[in-house]
Structure 1
Amino acid sequence: MKVQSQIADINTATGVMRTYIHRPVGGKPSADGKFPTVLFYSEIFQQTGPIESAAKIIASHGYVVLVPEVFHELNPIGTVLAYDDAGRDKGNADKAAKDVQGYDTDNQAMIAFIKQQDWYDGNIGAMGFCIGGHLAFRAALQPEIKSTACFYATDLHSMTIPNKPGQHSMERLSDITGELLMIWGKQDNHIPTAGRTQVYNKLTEANLTFTWHEFNAQHAFMRDGDERYDAQTAMLCYQLALNLFSRTM
């Protein structure tokens, strides 16, 4: 399907959050004008070119995809950070500055917005890369989220995102009711083998419904244009996510 894009400025508990909406146009699944929705969470750099392209890939398969500015409280509207040392330092500083519970109110605001739209068909999922993989996991705490695809989710195995006791994402596994898809690169220097094992064991102990995939790939292997990009593996991973969404939504 072709994709059309628009912008929505959504009011949240911590300020206005610019959200980029990518919608499919034409094709049999849109006969009634309604689609399942995917909340798509970016890396620390927000909606860069590769993130926009990835969101449009999902949208072109018949999903309305919302990409929020994840650090909207900390930057002017429309901020996109560069893939360089300065952008990385700023993004990591923003990650350290935002309380994890701010993502919960962001998710609640987006879900409330979605429910008011005439294209909403009653189904919502989530997806994200890097910190966005963690934020997609965080979105899964919301009861409306039916399925979530997490790509090399950082900070799940650590306590490095600011939070109050008992509020870290891995301490709230009982809130997750949907299916999870967990995708990792075995050569990811941000998420060591011990960290992945820790996450796997906790998900298993919590008796969550999830699938687990590890590829011989580095961090950011889904990012088109990066030297670590693995196009063949990325294609497989998009198919895994689309399979998840088609089965659950």
Structure 2
Amino acid sequence: MIIQKHDVDLNTPTGTMCCTVYRPQADGKFPCIIFYSEIFQQTAPIARSAAMMAGHGFVVIVPEVFHELNPIGTVLGYDDQGKDKGNTDKFTKPLESHDSDTIAILNFFANAEYCNGQFGSMGVCLGGHLAYRAALNPHIQATFCLYATDIHSNTIPCGEGNDSFTRTGEIQGEIVMVWGKQDPHVPTEGRQKIYQQLIDTNRLFSWHEFNAQHAFMRDEGDRYDPALALECYTKAVALFQRALHKA
């Protein structure tokens, strides 16, 4: 489908959050996918991923995940300076503030004329964690997480007992977890810990581990795996087409 793009500024308890919306040009109401970025915010690869998903008949919403900590429109570079700033932001913003961001998105887009009231979440790296975190909200019906960081290690600040790993049992929708076995950010022990938690809490989930490095979806840099990225897009589209029933 041919798509269009526009920005929406939302009020949140921690300030104005800009969301970029990618959606079909065609008239009608479509399911929504909240697409959470990596620590660099909405880079060109993130924008292309969002457009890819929107072209399959979804409203894809890309929030600025660190809107409290940067001027609106900030995009960090894929370099040491950008990585250092992004990691500082990641370890500064508590999960509770990400929760209130998600609620603001759900509240606004539930009433948007082009949305049908069905919601999923998707993300890469930090965004994979935030998609997993969003799945704690009962309005999220399906989730696709790509190499989600910090779930196993509980290294993003939050209140005691409010970490995403501990609250896994609250996830109600279907969830798909995708990992690279050569990813140093989530080692084998970390992946096994999350897998066991999903088993122990009897969640509805699928699990995929590939011979790939961290950020293998990012279509810039030497870790990009185009064939594997295409396979993952196909899996994500299939999940959301199945789980988000179009009105």
* Inter-partner Cα distance in structure 2 for 1:117 and 1:39: 14
Say yes or no: does 1:239 pair with 2:218. no
Contact preservation (8 Å) 2:154, 2:165: no
1:198-225 deviations in Å (ceiling 9; x for gaps):
0000000000000000000000000001
Other-structure match for 2:200: 205
Unaligned runs of 5+ in 1: none
* Inter-partner Cα distance in structure 1 for 2:50 and 2:180: 20
SS at match of 1:107: helix
Other-structure match for 1:35: 30
SS at match of 1:169: coil
* Inter-partner Cα distance in structure 2 for 1:119 and 1:96: 35
1:12-45 deviations in Å (ceiling 9; x for gaps):
011000100001123xxx5xx1000000000000
* Inter-partner Cα distance in structure 2 for 1:115 and 1:190: 35
**Alignment match of 1:157 (pick from 152, 159, 166):** 152
* Inter-partner Cα distance in structure 2 for 1:87 and 1:114: 30
Amino acid at match of 1:122: G
1:140-168 deviations in Å (ceiling 9; x for gaps):
01110000000000001101100111100
- Deviation of the 1:173 alpha carbon: 1.6
- Deviation of the 1:93 alpha carbon: 0.1
1:40-72 deviations in Å (ceiling 9; x for gaps):
000000000000000000000000000000000
Amino acid at match of 2:168: L
Matches of residues 96-245 of structure 1 in structure 2 within 5 Å? 96-245=91-240
Contact preservation (8 Å) 2:34, 2:119: yes
Other-structure match for 2:18: 18
* Inter-partner Cα distance in structure 2 for 1:173 and 1:200: 11
- TM-score scaled by structure 2? 0.98
Amino acid at match of 1:146: Q
* Inter-partner Cα distance in structure 2 for 1:247 and 1:77: 35
SS at match of 1:118: coil
- Deviation of the 1:113 alpha carbon: 0.5
Say yes or no: does 1:65 pair with 2:60. yes
Contact preservation (8 Å) 2:169, 2:202: no
Contact preservation (8 Å) 2:29, 2:114: yes
- TM-score scaled by structure 1? 0.97
Unaligned runs of 5+ in 2: none
* Inter-partner Cα distance in structure 1 for 2:94 and 2:174: 25
* Inter-partner Cα distance in structure 2 for 1:169 and 1:86: 28
Q: Tell me the matched-pair count.
A: 244
**Alignment match of 1:44 (pick from 39, 43, 46):** 39
* Inter-partner Cα distance in structure 1 for 2:25 and 2:59: 10
Say yes or no: does 1:3 pair with 2:13. no
